[in-house]
Amino acid sequence: MDAPKKRLAVPTDSLDTVDWGLLGLLRSNARLSNAALAASVGIAASTCLERVRSLVNRGVIRRFTVDVDPAALGLGVQAMISINIHSGARSQITPFATRIRDLPEVVQFFFVGGNEDFLVHVAVRDTAGLRRFVVDNLSADPVVAATRTSVIFDHVTPPL
């Protein structure tokens, strides 16, 4: 697996209510203007700009991104797939992970500890597409010992 990017550890107690307010607003809409952010948390626009810049520089905000609705793209089925790899295939973790995470159906990819080795969040057109993904990319791979698929009915991102 790729080494994580080095970033500063920021204790949560070093964030005040303004920082938490900015994070909550940006998490729900990263396109908010600086003026709107500042007004929402009750600070000057120049202060807001510096606060957001500080959150980025300290590694609290990793990136500003877009939340795409898979259903709007015709990808009506989402699932979480847990994957176990064979114990003798540990040397294949990195190539396997790279291959799977780069597949177009993959929304999120996690290397985890516990009963599973990986969790993969996928978005596909329908259940036939989900079956095809599992059979063609996972079950057919000699590295994979077992998979377990759970269909996602709904997903909600809670506020900070």
Q: How confident is the model at residue 70 (pLDDT cuts 50, 70, 90)?
A: very high
* Helices 34-41 and 45-57, packing angle to 10 deg: 100
Residue 160 is predicted with a pLDDT of 73
User: In the structure encoding, which two tokens stand for residue 32, read together?
Assistant: 């908010």
pLDDT at 143: 96
Q: What is the distance between the alpha carbons of residues 59 and 6, in angstroms, rounded to a whole number?
A: 9
- State pLDDT tens for residues 6-42: 555 666 678 999 999 999 999 989 999 999 999 999 9
The pLDDT of residue 129: 98
Architecture of domain 70-152: 2-Layer Sandwich (3.30)
CA distance 92 to 35: 49
Q: Which CATH class is domain 12-57?
A: mainly alpha
pLDDT digits (tens, 9 = 90+) for 89-136: 989 999 999 999 999 999 999 999 999 999 999 999 999 999 999 999
- Sequence spans of domains, the chain: 12-57, 70-152
User: CA-CA distance, 43 to 49, in Å (whole number)?
Assistant: 10
pLDDT tier, 2 (very low <50, low <70, confident <90, very high otherwise): low
Which pLDDT score, from 0 to 100, does residue 54 have?
95
